[in-house]
Amino acid sequence: MTSARDARLLDASEKCIAVFVARNSTDITVTELCATIGLAERTFYRYFPTKAQTILPVFEEMTRRFAASVESGPQPLVTALHDAFVANVIGLAAGDVVTFFRLIRADHDLWSSFLEVIQRAELALAAPIGRRLGHDPGDIGSRAGAIAVVSASRLALEAAAMDGADPVEVFDAYVAAFGRSVLPRG
């Protein structure tokens, strides 16, 4: 269950990201950001020690939903992964995920925060992927599968942001390629 504080934190994170996307820039001061989203600076700094950390709650929620979708998704696993990516990466961000990813890639501090999320996502996805494969969630196959899926997500967003590729097609292609070597059919 999400606490009221977690809900407020997520709401503030979503609003910050919406400002970045609307301005097509992350070059905005915390003072401007707070004025735009209606949050006191003192509260902002209680929620986010740095501006770059404003993205963490949204990506952590995306990861939580992605993992839950994989856990309860259809068979085979690749179908569950596809559905989870479409619903929780592409769908959760309401079409702005590619624009936002482009902004993250251009901002060193946001990119560092994003890489922090990547590491957490790998750990979070190991359990549902491992259970789907009939493995212990902590074994090397579960971890390798999670790393492959998170990498496929990142590479799909990167291809969409940098080259205009369809992120879902790219994700599916990477999952298929990784699947031949890392993710057994299942």
Tens digit of each residue's pLDDT (9 = 90 or more) over 12-51:
999 999 999 999 999 999 999 999 999 999 999 999 999 9
- For the chain, the structural domain boundaries read 4-51, 54-181
pTM confidence score: 0.89
Q: Are 144 and 156 in contact (CB under 8 A)?
A: no
pLDDT in tens, the chain (186 residues): 468 989 999 999 999 999 999 999 999 999 999 999 999 999 999 999 999 999 999 999 999 999 999 999 888 889 999 999 999 888 765 458 888 899 999 999 999 999 999 999 999 999 999 998 888 888 888 898 899 999 999 999 999 988 999 999 999 999 998 876 655 554
pLDDT at 41: 96
Token pair, residue 51, equals 């501006």
pLDDT at 73: 87
In whole angstroms, what is the distance from residue 103 CA to residue 142 CA? Answer: 31
pLDDT at 184: 52
- CATH class of the 4-51 domain in this structure: mainly alpha
* HSE-up of residue 177 (Cα within 13 Å, Cβ side): 11
CATH classification for the domain delimited by 54-181, as one of 1.10.357.10, 3.20.20.190, 2.60.40.1120, 3.30.360.10: 1.10.357.10
In whole angstroms, what is the distance from residue 175 CA to residue 186 CA? Answer: 13
